[in-house]
Structure 1
């Protein structure tokens, strides 16, 4: 397991340390790696995951066909996935010029990743979904769930929630990457019935 943790760390997926254990942070790092390389997201190092980690495909960039500086949905998702296990701090202001920023709330993760791609996007969740809808880029939750890099938004009051929340779809129909809460930090989550709206991000290129 230390070999897996070391390799994940080398590739930018933090496991919280190389200790030979298979705790939550290592599982989440494996999930993030699997999501980046569009493998089945199980959190377990199966044959396909092992092969991608250590085989002939190691280091392969899923966005290799895209221009290096293009603001694509794949690059947006990959940036967010590399922040898995970073801290969640409600109301934090992420430094958009810092490529190694390590604390986010839900909206700041997205605005930070957009800024890293040269796309200006608001830093508050309700402003983000409004920007998407005002640009005529709204989506249903079901469409956003199958669109890699699309926004998924929960309006306050949905299922008893107190706050707005925003996440990025991994395009699988089931999973997100999001700054979830203070317990989980940045993590791969499940869509379930948590969201009310979806949308494209203006300025991001979707396939």
Structure 2
């Protein structure tokens, strides 16, 4: 990857900026208890990276998806204490902005909870894209395309940092370069830049 040729750096949230697994597990446990669902957390968790209602469809729960989402969100918002920032990521974001790069967040999490987490961590982004009702989410390229359009940047100017295969698939379809956070929740089959620590982001982009 050529250093210094990127102008827009987009991050995934869960598994890249924050470790929210405990929060997800508690929230899914509440869903299971409320709706008597016999689907283990790991079955839900393997689909992380997609919009919530898309995951419900994958699990055969689309009929009650909206209601399940409401319960999940209430519990998730009440247990933000279970969400922790990955080491050094705030400093990386601040350093990128200090070097005049545009920094954004592209996540499949709904906007309300995303903003709660961003405020909790006191992070500043130039663009935040979350799926709205009726919009396609990852692995479709639409979220990345919306973020680039809002920032007036081309795919060649842009890089996305994710942690799931669907993140890579979205970048491939959007024509955007990708770096994979190995500290996250999933693996990536593609031959792409793998990151073992947040500090490697600065080395890759700033030299």
Q: What's the TM-score, normalizing by structure 2? A: 0.29
Q: Highest relative contact order (Cα 8 Å, sep 6+), 1 or 2? A: 2
Q: What's the TM-score, normalizing by structure 1? A: 0.29
